[in-house]
Structure 1
Amino acid sequence: MPPNVILIMTDQQRADSLGCTGNPVVQSPQLDALAARGAVFRNHFTPHQICSPSRSTLFSGLYARHHGLTRNGVALPEELPLITHDLKTAGYRTHGAGKFHFQPILAGPEHAMPDSNAFWDLPQSEGWTGPFYGFDTVDILIGESVSATEGGHYANWLRDTAPGAAALYLPEHALEPGPADLDEVWKSAIPADLHYNTWITGRACRFLQEQDGKQPFFLFVSYPDPHHPFSPPAPWCDMYDPQQVPAPALAADELAAMPSYILDGDREEAAGSYVDFLRNPGPPREQGFMQTTRRFSEASLRQAIAHTYGMVSMIDDCIGRLLAQLQAQGLAQDTLILFTSDHGELLGDHGLIRKGPSPYRPLLHVPLVMAGPGVAPGPRRGLTSHLDLRATLLEHLGLAAQDTDGVSFQAMLAAPDAEGRGKLYAEYHPRTRMDTYNQTLLTEDWRITIYPENPDWGEMFHLASDPGEHINLFFSPDHANEKQRLAEQMTCEFPPAPQAGGPSLATY
């Protein structure tokens, strides 16, 4: 029988946020132990720094321009083949627990989409558990933080289990007042045993308890954190001293040499907070809510980082429960485990927070840990991408290859020194500012980003000498030849596709 597969995913988690990936402060003993017996991919990237496009790329092995979900607010076509369909065809039992985000959260009831809040007011939601995008059954959570209590199985469970507890997620019920200059930071009053991370883990463990080892399974466990708002519950909100977290990496005036929309975005963000947007979305705003940290004190920003670390440690603790259940079922030796995130978070680097159009490394670079049958221990240095995971899993499991945009890195699982990709592409499709559409070519030494709709903008970094991407060389005369070479290569191999994607059904 082929091995079982558990794919654990977080939302908006940087590659450097775990002990096993070099973070000197974060306590992640469960993932560190998993990494010690498996592979840590040091240079794993997503081609899309926004939630839904990245998730859809991981499951389909296609760029967003090909699977159609180019921006949040678009639905993934239900007929599109995904890794879940591949595994079902091969006899796997498929289940998912947590956040999927394959459909717009705010899609209207006429669409009857289970990943939308409106679906859960319809009669057909009663008792519904799937099928859903190749999953036989699902336990769905929609959104994160204050928005996770409106629709989905978790919202129904919380309403039935602890009536009125949903309000405890709100900042006005915080355990103590948050900083006045950064209203996305607070200590959530929701008890940890009612928190969605705990619920997701419980649902995943229940699924494992039902497995008898006679049929292989694919289990997707998807946590909404450490996505902003930065609002973990106790005790995780107090786990880290803000004064002990690493300071963000930034250089003086570095944004002055970057595309002007980055600084312009502060004006839009000043119009209202992200929490206000979740409560009353209003007109569409650009994805990611990127803004500078100029209005935030150092203490407030450090508190956001400390809370992010707390969310990471809470998830790590949940993963410990999951792995203990797997061990108790006698399935640990026969299960391939993957841990990753859909995209990263700026978290103060470059003087920016959250995410946005610019494909900085903290957004595209995500963790990937794999352990289980056929995976040799040790770090992997080669470039790998979410785009490649479907092809890699199919080859590793001995299943028929499918036509995707990715390339299998299965050779790296058994041989830590095997080579990865020579390059990878990334792409951002905007929601409101169409001139921020951009394409990126990333190699071991260079990252170049072009804006086909605005030739006055561009980004180019020599990663060999500037790994932190602080010195934009795009308009440097001394680097004109290199820029032309890389730009022409990208235009030839990955031509612009600013109009790609399906129709927008909702703001997000």
Structure 2
Amino acid sequence: MKKNDREQPNVIVFFTDQQRWDTTGVHGNPLGLTPTFDRMAREGTHLYHTFTCQPVCGPARSCLQTGMYATTTGCFKNAIPLPRERRTLAHYFKQAGYATGYIGKWHLSEKEPVPAEDRGGYEYWLAANLLEFSSDAYSTVLYDNDGKEVKLPGYRVDAQTDAAIRYIDRNQTHPFFLFLSYLEPHHQNHTDNYPAPDGYEEMYTDRWTPPDLKALGGTAPQHLGGYYGMVKRLDEALGRLMDALKSLDLTRKTIVLFTSDHGCHFKTRNGEYKRSAHESSIRIPAAIYGPGFMQGGQVRQLVSLLDIPPTLLDAAGIPVPSDMQGRSVLPLVRREPVEWPEEVLVQISESQVGRAIRTGRWKYGVTAPDLDGWSESHAESYVEELLYDLQADPYELTNLAGWDSYRSVADELQRKLISRMAEAGEPVPEIVPAQSRPAGKRRVSIEELRLKL
């Protein structure tokens, strides 16, 4: 063991799939689903406003592994493998002397099992490219370093957690970076349902419905019970992981990040569960616990999933590569004076070729109506699709796009969106205003226009 091994913090990413931010108690969910996450957020650092930069599985994962936008890596939709020349978190941590491990869902290859050259540089491997197809709730099948099938006992969340605890126990004498990627609370594709552990769905059916789902319906009455049950089991797994760290005297030596790839709108915004610019698709829970983050409180600035990779490297004392397109949040945690973007950029594919920004108050989105989001990564021309005033309408029930009285707001947001797209390396587009609509008595006051967007 190197002399400075124990000075380097271990890093664990606890990564869920399709989890809304408002499943957590610290975001107002009244069902007590996430006591462990809530404690992490209170005692560590709560990234209160965190958003995905691409609300679909594969592209979001490419962003989190590389710190680059999906249009930069080329992984703008599912089923595009991560280019082998792209350096990932695993490469940087390994170069810094860390053992690296990946357990769970990968979704950045074309093959199952994932060939060694497509594993993003991770040394230890117990994963499946498409866990939703290789396994079921009580039939967990992953693949090891040799590409051999490994069937793990127990409910899928528990099976993966057991594997993670075994990995931590084996690697406790030297620094490690472990990426633990769950499928839950994502739906089971072949049945289009949310299979919670036995008995859990019944506990949460018809208990509490977020206001956007209450207003818009979708599949929430059918699916929320199972979805919440999966979230509950994930939080219990997080508790088991934290217990393992405590028992091995690793709590003060280990950084634990909890977040998700995107949210879930339960078929209220389009024909499936994500791939839209709405809060239900793009807002995700995020908290960091461990050295450098204890008593960090709430970080209220807007944080992108793209900011997570540079944050983890920075927290481990590893230089952040200049080609990463996100920013470390450590200066915000330390309350240091720093310029921070006032908006996050979201790229949307598959359901559409879309772009959006989310500011502290506004949501502004555009789409290329004549392009196929499965075949085109970007457009030269977009049309305004949505505008929401999140202060007056937090559940995004009244689309203000085209309203005459909000034209000045839309114009300013359009400029911000174009600027952020250019920063991301995209061509500067044309944006066609939405068709004009009279607003009746609804007006934006001079004072409101002077407020920061």
Category of TM-score, reference length = shorter chain: 0.7 to 0.9
AA paired with 1:143? Answer: L
Give the corresponding residue for 1:136.
Answer: 123
Please name the residue that 2:64 is paired with: 58
Q: RCO (CA 8 Å, sep 6+): is it higher in 1 or 2?
A: 1
Number of residue pairs aligned between Structure 1 and Structure 2: 395
Pair 1:318-2:324 in alignment: no
- Whichever residue aligns with residue 199 of structure 2, its letter is P
| Residue of structure 1 equivalent to 2:357 | 441
User: Which residue of 143, 147, 161 maps to 1:153?
Assistant: 143
Equivalent-residue separation in structure 2 for 1:6 and 1:390 (angstroms):
12
Q: Percent same amino acid at aligned positions?
A: 28
Instruction: Name which of 224, 232, 237 aligns with 2:196.
Output: 232
TM-score in terms of structure 1 length: 0.72
Answer yes or no: is the 8 Å Cα contact 1:335–1:373 preserved in 2.
yes
Structure 1: segments with no counterpart, 5+ residues: 108-112, 120-127, 162-192, 255-291, 499-508
Match of 2:342 among 422, 433, 436: 422
Deviation of 1:26 after TM superposition, in Å, equals 3.7
Spell out, residue by residue over 1:144-195, the C-alpha distance to the aligned partner (whole angstroms, 9 max, x if none): 556526963289333xx7xxxxxxxxxxxxxxxxxxxxxxxxxxxxxxx522
Q: 1:356 to 1:247 in 2, by over 3 A?
A: closer
Taking the aligned partners of 1:305 and 1:490, their CA distance within structure 2 comes to: 34
Secondary structure in 1 matching 2:22: coil
Give the counterpart of 1:398 among 307, 311, 317.
Answer: 317
Q: How does 1:26-65 map to 2 (within 5 A)?
A: 26-65=32-71
Kindly indicate whether residue 205 of structure 2 is the aligned counterpart of residue 245 of structure 1: no
Check the 8 A contact 2:128/2:134 in 1, yes or no. no
Which of 371-380 and 138-147 deviates more? 138-147
Aligned partner letter, 1:373: P
Q: Is the 8 A contact 2:345 2:420 kept in 1?
A: no
Q: Show the counterpart of 2:113.
A: 114
Match of 2:280 in 1: 362
Q: Cα distance 1:353–1:414, how it changes in 2: closer, same or farther (>3 A)?
A: farther
Aligned-residue offset at 1:29: 2.2
- CA RMSD, 1 decimal: 2.7
Deviation at 1:388, TM superposition (A): 0.9
Distance in 2 separating the partners of 1:477 and 1:246: 34
Equivalent in the alignment of 1:200:
160
- Residue segments in structure 2 that go unaligned for 5+ positions in a row: 1-6, 188-192, 371-381, 428-453
Which shows bigger deviation, 231-240 or 358-367? Answer: 231-240
Match of 1:408 among 300, 319, 328: 328
Q: CA deviation at 1:482?
A: 1.9
For residues 94-152 of structure 1, give each alpha carbon's deviation from its aligned partner in whole angstroms, at most 9, with x where no partner exists: 11111121124xx4xxxxx633xxx7xxxxxxxx8x88212111111343556526963
Residue 419 to residue 200, structure 1, CA distance change in 2 (3 Å): farther
Asked if the contact 1:250–1:470 (Cα under 8 Å) also holds between the matched residues in 2, the reply is no
Residue 482 in 1 paired to residue 409 in 2? yes
1:226-282, Cα deviation, whole Å (9 max, x unpaired): 001311121323332x23222542687x8xxxxxxxxxxxxxxxxxxxxxxxxxxxx
**Residue of structure 2 in register with 1:466 after alignment:** 393
- The alpha-carbon deviation at position 73 of structure 1 amounts to 1.1
1:211 counterpart residue number? 171
Please state which structure has a larger fraction of its residues in strand: 2
Q: Structure 1 residues 463 and 419, CA, compared in 2 at 3 Å: closer, same or farther? A: farther
Shift in Å, 1:27:
2.3
